[in-house]
């Protein structure tokens, strides 16, 4: 019962965070989710929980694909093209990590995500500051 309550609370907290977030804020949350999933996959390998590893890698791949298809490649910006290529690369690396239970590849992908995340967080800061506080 407590586990169900905690899950319901987590779902409500997530919904609240998503509804209150800017589009860039959602990208930040997706990056954080991908980093967490990749980290969890590594822990699952250590514990010999290979179904959990596969589930976490699939989650990270799904997040990366969502980020990739959200890119506006029609505009033709170098940033969008580069991000598209990077997302494809990370998805391929995650597939290899899954097949080989390779924690070094997982670490590589995590480091790539962690390198890019601060840039998205920086872009989100001015938007977050510009939003009026709710409840006042």
Where along the chain do its domains lie? 22-116
**pLDDT given for residue 19 in this prediction:** 63
pLDDT, averaged across the chain: 86
Has residue 17 got a pLDDT over 80?
A: no
Has residue 112 got a pLDDT over 90?
A: yes
* DSSP letter string, 40-93: HHHHHHHHT-HHHHHHHHHHHHHHHHHHHHHS-GGG--HHHHHHHHHHHHHHHH
**pLDDT given for residue 15 in this prediction:** 55
**pLDDT given for residue 75 in this prediction:** 80
22-116: CATH topology is 1.20.120
What is the rounded distance in angstroms from the CA atom of residue 10 to the CA atom of residue 124?
A: 23
Has residue 113 got a pLDDT over 70?
A: yes
What is the rounded distance in angstroms from the CA atom of residue 51 to the CA atom of residue 54?
A: 5
Between 3 and 71, name the one with better pLDDT. Answer: 71
Has residue 7 got a pLDDT over 70?
A: no
Has residue 5 got a pLDDT over 70?
A: no
Q: What is the mean pLDDT of residues 30-51?
A: 98
Q: What is the mean pLDDT of residues 100-116?
A: 98
Has residue 84 got a pLDDT over 70?
A: yes
**pLDDT given for residue 12 in this prediction:** 54
Contact 17, 134 (CB under 8 A): no
């Amino acid at each position: 019962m407590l586990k169900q309550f905690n899950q319901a609370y987590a779902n409500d907290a997530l919904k609240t965070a998503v509804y209150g977030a800017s589009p860039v804020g959602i990208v930040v949350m997706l990056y954080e989710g991908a980093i967490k999933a990749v980290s969890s996959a590594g822990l699952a390998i250590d514990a010999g929980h290979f179904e959990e590893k596969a589930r976490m890698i699939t989650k990270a791949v799904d997040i990366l694909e969502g980020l990739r298809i959200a890119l506006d490649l029609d505009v033709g910006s170098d940033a969008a093209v580069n991000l598209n290529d990077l997302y494809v690369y990370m998805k391929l690396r995650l597939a290899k990590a899954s097949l080989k239970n390779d924690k070094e590849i997982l670490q590589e992908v995590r480091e790539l995500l962690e390198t890019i995340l601060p840039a998205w967080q920086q872009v989100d800061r001015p938007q977050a500051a510009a939003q009026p506080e709710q409840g006042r």
